[in-house]
Amino acid sequence: MSNAVQAIDSALRSALEGRVFGMDGTVRDIVIALICRGHVLVEGPPGLGKTLLTRSVAATLGGRFGRIQCTADLMPSDITGVHVFSSEQERFRLMQGPVFADVLLVDEINRTSPKTQSALLEAMEERTVTIDRRSYPLPDNFLVLASQNPHEFEGTYPLPESQLDRFLLRSSVDFPAPADELSVLKTYDKPGAGRGEPPETALGAQALEAARTEAAQLRVTDALYDYVRGIASASRAHPRVALGLSTRGALALVRCARVVAALAGRDYVTPDDVREIAEPVMAHRLTTTAEAELSGVSSAALCNEILDGVEVPRA
């Protein structure tokens, strides 16, 4: 059956149709983050349309849009803003940085230093910004869409664990399928293509609130809560994991599973919903041991090992 969560998914996909190709999984992850009031880290090599996707989503959501192009010399004040003295008003006034937005695009976030990356910690978790010991509120629906290149690329910094944990989901973008790549070539080969009018706003605040209310009303059994707790405990005890899933990460797993269930048209959450969204929620939060890194074990593979080692509750 159709519901408010499915309506948000359909509206966003309709707005992106003809502009973004071959990113269905990432669009789903963004829908989940919107409803869960979370943030998304989009990871993949350059030139696959990550920036186009995030800009198009921001235009679809409406509101104030901010953009940060991360570089090695970027400073925290370039993100948050600074107080400057106004001779006309004879007082200091705040020159707001790009973080004061409804939707913030942080492009190539891992090309700036951890010190500068940390300027986003308070904003992403508490939706406030503190400048010179004074706190300023951000919009209630503040959303960060950050893109990053794979860590082995030259000139990149690994994101601190505290920064990674504040991203609800990490969505991986890979090279498109032949049909999708052909659509990209036909759509964007002309000079100036891709710089046209952004998609019209399709998602309103009321629709988002209806979807959030609906997701919150889905039934989650005590057995399922215990299943998620077991996954978190297993990640912390895994011999090839140095830092396992945090309590924030376990909570994210339940919240995202609610939206996955609603997208499937159900009013209850199952262990399969948890398993379906586990890798985008967990993989970036797991810190592997040195031995695991040397042996080439990925965090995604560890997610599967952890899930396979936890008993699935029966209905």
- Residue 304: pLDDT above 80? yes
Helix residue ranges per DSSP H, the chain: 4-16, 24-36, 50-61, 76-80, 114-117, 121-126, 161-165, 178-188, 205-216, 222-237, 247-263, 271-282, 290-294, 299-308
Phi then psi for residue 68, to 5 deg, are -125, 120
- In angstroms, the CA 171 to CA 89 distance is 46
Give the residue-averaged pLDDT of 224-236.
Answer: 96
Mean residue pLDDT of the chain comes to 88
pLDDT at 1: 43
pLDDT at 198: 61
Give the residue-averaged pLDDT of 48-59.
Answer: 83
Domains for the chain: give ranges and CATH numbers: 4-190 (3.40.50.300), 218-308 (1.10.8.80)
pTM over the 0.85 mark? yes
Phi then psi for residue 187, to 5 deg, are -85, -35
Give, rounded to a whole angstrom, the gap between the first and last alpha carbons of the chain: 22
SS3 66: strand
pLDDT at 200: 62
- In angstroms, the CA 145 to CA 51 distance is 9
- Residue 233: pLDDT above 90? yes
Whether 104 contacts 143, CB under 8 Å: yes
Percent of the chain with pLDDT over 70: 94
pLDDT band at 178 (very low <50, low <70, confident <90, very high): very high
SS3 253: helix
SS3 171: strand
- Residue 43: pLDDT above 60? yes
- Residue 205: pLDDT above 90? no
Span of 98-112, 120-134, 187-201, 203-217 with lowest mean pLDDT: 187-201
Give the residue-averaged pLDDT of 86-94.
Answer: 79
Parallel, antiparallel, or unpaired for β 143-148 and 40-43? parallel
Question: Could you give the dihedral angle defined by the CA atoms of residues 42, 47, 48 and 53, in that order, rounded to the nearest 10 degrees?
Answer: 60
pLDDT band at 158 (very low <50, low <70, confident <90, very high): confident
